[in-house]
Chain A
Amino acid sequence: DSGVTQTPKHLITATGQRVTLRCSPRSGDLSVYWYQQSLDQGLQFLIQYYNGEERAKGNILERFSAQQFPDLHSELNLSSLELGDSALYFCASSSGPNYGYTFGSGTRLTVV
């Protein structure tokens, strides 16, 4: 157990639908990062939050959004889902800049 908790582990949904992925960071970590990993691809950075505020944005689609709550858990919302959104979505947390990230076990999203 890495200390970063992601739910659900698996999600199957239809095109056009909306889903919410949840992440609880490791205790004490203020930064949360979301990454997308498609088949045979590396990890693509989506978005970062630090202590409730958006810090950095990567290649995140406009159909996707995220937020970090006062208790530091984060949610990634994916809407108007397309087949190409099928991927593993990872959340990671860190205690500060230039420190290693601790990853959760991911949510596998399948859009049918």
Chain B
Amino acid sequence: GESVGLHLPTLSVQEGDNSIINCAYSNSASDYFIWYKQESGKGPQFIIDIRSNMDKRQGQRVTVLLNKTVKHLSLQIAATQPGDSAVYFCAENKRNTPLVFGKGTRLSVIA
């Protein structure tokens, strides 16, 4: 069946280092992928998205990479800051179907 999973439940990084959060998906028909950030007590916040016809997309300090061959998605955060501490979810979407979320990775930034 369809599933979106995360390789690591927790990730600790030093402030200023780059962070890489990984995600695997199983549905090759998925055509849209999103990363969300959820801070404690808040709703998920959109970070960046990528469509299946792309393999890389950059935002402000964030880059999403999509490898369709191995069904892998990653989120790279440059120069990680304390404010980046949160749970990060990847989500998968096929046209006209609701987003399916992974369990999340907790990112802790060590000052």
Contacts and interface: CB of A to CB of B under 8 A. Distances in A.
Interface of A: 2, 4, 33, 35, 41-45, 48, 56, 58, 90, 92, 97-98, 100-106
Interface residues of B, number: 23
Contact of B89 (A43, A100, A106): A43
Contact of A90 (B43, B49, B102): B43
Interface of B: 31-32, 34, 36, 42-46, 49, 51, 89, 93, 95-104
B99 A105 contact: no
Contacts of A2: 43, 45
A105 B104 CA distance: 18
Contact of A42 (B31, B89, B93): B89
A97 B96 contact: yes
Contacts of A105: 42-43
A92 B95 CA distance: 17
B103 A101 contact: no
